[in-house]
Amino acid sequence: MQQEYMSLLKNHTFTPVEHARRKPIGCKWVYKTKTNPDGTLRYKARLVINGYKQMQGIDFDKTYVPVCKMTTLRYLICRTAKQVWEMNQLNVVTTFLNLAIDKEVYMQLPEGIE
């Protein structure tokens, strides 16, 4: 949890403030267990805001997340194999699925974070 929180701070995802101008939205930790290639377990924590409490026009204007369809991924893998190109895998620790927002959104600090 500490690694996730520090990563969010390092990437300037949010700025901790003493007092919010509006009622802050809650958040929660989502935990996942992943298996490494060598069979050992790795535990991941992700901090998510309770988006269902956001109000359109106040907290956000539009929702859009660019995604890749599985057919596109299959095509790229086939094309790479046919051209005998090299392909690498990348493990990303922190990703952001949304564009920069121009609204102020206040979130409560999660439990366990001072």
Q: What is the pLDDT of residues 60-109, one digit of tens each?
A: 666 666 677 889 989 999 999 999 999 887 766 666 655 666 777 788 88
Percent of the chain with pLDDT over 70: 75
Sign of CA dihedral 66, 72, 78, 84: negative
- Separation CA 82–CA 62 (nearest Å): 40
Query: pTM for this structure?
Result: 0.54
Give the mean pLDDT of the chain.
80
